[in-house]
Amino acid sequence: MVATGTGFGTARVHDVYSIADRLKLINGQVFVSLRDPETRALALELVRGTPQHGDQSELEELKRVFYFVKNNVEYRQDPHQYDLYATTKRTLQAGAGDCDDHTVVVCSLIANLGYIPGAKIVSADNANWHIYAATCVFPRHNPDAPTARYFALDTTQTPSYPGWEPPRPFHRYSKMVTFTERGPMIRELSNG
């Protein structure tokens, strides 16, 4: 790991060899961002005035976070042959980021609202991967409840809306991840 000055703070360079290595770095940025008081204040401001309980409350909160990120963070690719993982604060300062950065922003905001932060990783060819935030709703805090369901939050795609996912061919290879203080919990999905 090497630290280099960027004028935007410090950047650390990591060698990564797998999706799991990348997910560890994303997980770390989600939890750094989650603990940032400015991120907490932003999350609370975004949902101010929504009902505090019930299914419609959860959907309204997620919609507000989704559209805030979609409208304020442009999708921009990382530099060629580099994969950068920014905190929520850095991504919002830049006003742009790739799918990893969008995932960190959405996950840190929803985690500050009591949702379990997670993501779905999809690929049509097992080489080019796309990641987007996902969480549990109905209720937000208990994915094992009989009423609970998965909810996608892909803010990077032009046609997307809360709950939208890329078309089925992009799910040939897919994984679900739950971000935790201990690190990412990754599970392969059957794609039949």
Alpha-carbon distance 25 to 4, whole Å? 17
pLDDT tens, residue by residue, 107-127: 999 999 999 999 999 999 999
**Residue 2 lies inside a defined structural domain of this protein:** no
**Residue 12 lies inside a defined structural domain of this protein:** no
DSSP annotation of 178: E
pLDDT band at 144 (very low <50, low <70, confident <90, very high): confident
Alpha-carbon distance 148 to 131, whole Å? 22
Q: For residue 87, what are the contacts with CB-CB under 8 A and spacing of at least 6? A: 29, 32, 33, 36, 104
Residue 47 lies in domain: 18-188
pTM over 0.75: yes
User: How many structural domains compose the chain?
Assistant: 1
Query: For the domain that residue 178 is a member of, what is the CATH number?
Result: 3.90.260.10
**Residue 152 lies inside a defined structural domain of this protein:** yes
pLDDT band at 52 (very low <50, low <70, confident <90, very high): confident
**Residue 8 lies inside a defined structural domain of this protein:** no
**Residue 58 lies inside a defined structural domain of this protein:** yes
pLDDT band at 11 (very low <50, low <70, confident <90, very high): low
Residue with tokens 């709703």: 137
Q: Given this model, what pLDDT does residue 1 score?
A: 45
User: Could you give the 3-state DSSP secondary structure of residue 95?
Assistant: coil
Q: Given this model, what pLDDT does residue 129 score?
A: 94
Sequence letter at residue 111: A
pLDDT tens, residue by residue, 58-107: 999 999 999 999 999 999 999 988 889 999 999 999 999 999 999 999 99
**Residue 48 lies inside a defined structural domain of this protein:** yes
**Residue 114 lies inside a defined structural domain of this protein:** yes
Instruction: Please indicate whether residue 10 or residue 73 has the higher confidence score (pLDDT).
Output: 73
What is the phi/psi pair of residue 11, to 5°?
Answer: -115, 140
Q: Does pLDDT of 21 surpass 80?
A: yes
Q: Contact, 111 vs 123, CB < 8 A? A: no
**Residue 63 lies inside a defined structural domain of this protein:** yes
Q: Does pLDDT of 2 surpass 50?
A: no
CA dihedral (47, 52, 53, 54) positive or negative = negative
